């Protein structure tokens, strides 16, 4: 049997990973507008993937194989100063 502290740590880790995934998806919507993507399917994390494919000439499988932590690292400059829209925070 694991301790309460163990489960709190695991819960915090998974909450942080979920928050990271959510923030990348919301940033993807920002990319869709900024880059003027025409396809209605290019929103959220798909827009992030498409952006990375276009910018770095990576293959879709390379981009889809990246962890959210790695994607966030690669987007460090693009996300500098980025503030999530109020609607996404409510």
Residues 13-18 have a mean pLDDT of: 96
* 49: exposed, middle or buried (Cβ count in 10 Å: 0-12, 13-18, 19+): buried
Q: Is the pTM of this model over 0.75?
A: yes
pLDDT of 1 strictly over 90 = no
Kindly list the domain boundaries of the chain, sorted by start residue. Answer: 4-89
Q: Which residue has tokens 């827009």?
A: 47
pLDDT of 29 strictly over 90 = yes
Q: Give the E-state strand segments of the chain in sequence order.
A: none
Express each pLDDT in 31-90 by its tens digit. Answer: 999 999 999 999 999 999 999 999 999 999 999 999 999 999 999 999 999 999 999 998
Contact 82, 30 (CB under 8 A): yes
Contact 56, 73 (CB under 8 A): no
């Amino acid at each position: 049997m694991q301790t309460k502290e163990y489960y709190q740590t695991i819960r915090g880790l998974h909450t942080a990973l979920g928050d990271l995934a959510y923030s990348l998806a919301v940033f993807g919507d920002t990319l869709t507008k900024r880059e003027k993507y025409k396809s209605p399917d290019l929103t959220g994390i798909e827009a992030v993937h498409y952006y990375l494919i276009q910018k770095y000439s990576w293959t879709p499988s390379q981009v889809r194989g990246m962890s959210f932590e790695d994607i966030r690292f690669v987007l460090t400059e693009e996300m500098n100063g980025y503030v999530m829209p109020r609607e996404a925070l409510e």
